[in-house]
Chain A
């Protein structure tokens, strides 16, 4: 009876295993448009060799390296206005947009973008490529002309591979291979510069992009090494590179801010002025603490009425920017305790003011009965709904913070902690209700939000060590 030798069996098994893995991999990847190495390798070699012969080779390389479309690369030539764009296009997005321009303009500080680390931790810089890009700045380009030029270049140089290569496949190569180099979906979006407007939470974060650039450099390095190219200049990456929101504070600033607020609050105030100041600062303290935990937008009446809070189950309904922003956000145990202490304080205040300022006393009683917003401010003219503008004027000379700092601060903390951007998006109220992501991450499975809430609470209590009025 025929019986294959042990070696043969092992080899078969090995072959079978490999085939199985390939099959599985194919099934998992699921995209047949992905270019193979056998296609990419000659493209990289040919383009690198002909880098000075026209724009087509440099654009093909840029698209392969960054995952950007030709249109995106061309748009990088558009002049950016000096003033900060308004509306939804905030400074963070402006910074990110600005970041893409160096691909073409290449000021010296962005040279590291194309640096490729070698085994010694140093980097290779394809200078020829950079020079070609710099040269391209001076020429007026039309997208159709360039597309035609690129297509002609591909046809002329890769006749045998022509049916495999098109502009979209070249562009998609980076996103196909990115996971292999540890680049997340958000990292790919950052480098390829897409999806930014659809994910406004990206603009809330401040992050060190040097990690992304390192991983990205490894991707470029692998392409160059596979192509067996040489003659690149060696440089080092030694600096961190921060991108994103300019509204993010340092932890100690947040901590100092809360300590200052607490110092303005007097226990058993002896004068009307002390009473008024304590009330306003205590309210400010509670609102800011809740904002940190829930990422409520400081736009309209803060947190609405008391009925929005469920202190037994620990959650709050937030509608801070129209119906689209409706979401249920969990309240941490600390937040519930602080809120309960504040409610007790308000109840005492109702009694204290009953015979001196009955109108104020009645207004606070109204807030506790959900006749008006829970958080109110008190000035010489009486009680009025809490508005951040009114409070920030009290402290802006000491803490010139931007109003929306709490959302920027926590979003940055979560992003740098590796929390999924989709979860942050749902928590911040950026995903509209009814949206699949929102349903999946917020309403449908509340536990995701609870995990985030606990994470934020832990940061507030342990890392920032904020003073708690409980």
Chain B
């Protein structure tokens, strides 16, 4: 597939996340990126053949539809986008058939490369929950549909307990508690 793609400088205003990748993008937007590699969870494996350093996209209706490699388009990194509003993108000639799989593979890749170990398993669980079954089976290379916890255990070679603990921790951290008089 890479043979049919070209590296292009494209205008930011023409870029849009592909519809099939929007859920994957939304999930990765909620990640707390960890820049210290010693705090990453090395057990999250992402066996993927792609080099996601630049956005992957295809062209449709005059728009560049990004379906992977979008980290530079996310909020924390948007301030680093060039002033020329041109970014280097790998643009495929046609819409890839396995677009959705690549998008979720990219999420897995991001998790393995950027996610703090305290929440990595919980985010993998979230990914398993949101990812379509067919795509998940391709990612886990298993034909049976397992429970979320089991799938995370398989993907990350973990036991059940840390997975459960992290899921609870993430749910709690996402809740907006609001400040009370005593906290102000």
Contacts and interface: CB of A to CB of B under 8 A. Distances in A.
Interface of A: 258-259, 262-263, 265-272, 275, 348, 351-352, 354-356, 358, 461-462, 465-470
Interface string B156-174: 0000000000000000011
Given A270-B126, A271-B23, A354 B78 contact: yes
Given A355-B15, A355-B17, A268 B174 contact: yes
A345 to B, nearest CB: 11
Contacts of B23: 271-272
19 contacts: A262-B178, A266-B175, A268-B30, A270-B30, A270-B126, A271-B23, A271-B27, A272-B23, A354-B73, A354-B78, A355-B15, A356-B22, A356-B26, A466-B178, A467-B177, A468-B178, A468-B180, A470-B179, A470-B184
B26 A269 contact: yes
B97 to A, nearest CB: 22
A272 B28 CA distance: 12
A269 B180 CA distance: 23
Which 5 pairs, one residue from A and one from B, show the smallest C-beta to C-beta distance? Answer: A467-B178, A268-B30, A351-B75, A270-B30, A265-B176
B75 A348 contact: yes
A265 B175 CA distance: 7
- By size class, the interface of chain B is 20 to 34
Nearest to B65: A355
B29 interface: yes
Nearest to A259: B178
A351 B17 CA distance: 13
B181 interface: yes
A235 B120 CA distance: 74
Contacts of B175: 263, 266-267
Interface string B66-87: 1000100111001000000000
B78 A462 contact: no
Contacts of A356: 16-17, 22, 25-26
A355 B10 CA distance: 14
Contacts of B178: 258-259, 262, 466-469
Contacts of A267: 173-176
A259 B181 CA distance: 14
Contacts of B35: none
B184 A275 contact: no
Interface centre among A272, A355, A462 (most CB of B within 10 A): A355
B42 to A, nearest CB: 23
A151 B26 CA distance: 84
Contact of B29 (A352, A358, A469, A470): A352
B179 A469 contact: yes
B88 interface: no
B39 interface: no
B146 interface: no
A262 B176 contact: yes
Contacts of B176: 262-263, 265-267, 469
Contact of A465 (B25, B74, B181): B181
Contact of A271 (B26, B78, B180): B26
B130 interface: yes
A355 B73 contact: yes
Contacts of A269: 26, 30, 174
A270 B126 CA distance: 8
Given A263-B175, A356-B26, A271 B181 contact: no
A281 to B, nearest CB: 9
A466 B175 CA distance: 16
Contacts of A470: 179, 184
A329 B25 CA distance: 42
Given A268-B30, A269-B174, A348-B75, 6 more contacts: A258-B178, A262-B177, A266-B174, A270-B27, A351-B75, A358-B16
A467 B179 contact: yes
Nearest to B15: A355
A18 to B, nearest CB: 54
Nearest to B32: A268
Nearest to B19: A356
Nearest to B13: A358
A80 B126 CA distance: 61
B26 to A, nearest CB: 5
A296 B184 CA distance: 26
A368 to B, nearest CB: 16
Contacts of B75: 348, 351-352
B180 to A, nearest CB: 6
Contacts of A258: 178
Given A355-B16, A356-B17, A270 B26 contact: yes
Nearest to B178: A467
A26 B81 CA distance: 81
B22 A272 contact: yes
B29 to A, nearest CB: 6
A271 B130 contact: yes
Contacts of A358: 16
A61 B93 CA distance: 97
Nearest to B27: A270
A358 B173 CA distance: 28
B179 A468 contact: yes
Contacts of B177: 262, 467
Contacts of B66: 355
Interface string B93-113: 000000000000000000000
Contacts of A266: 174-176
Contacts of B16: 355-356, 358
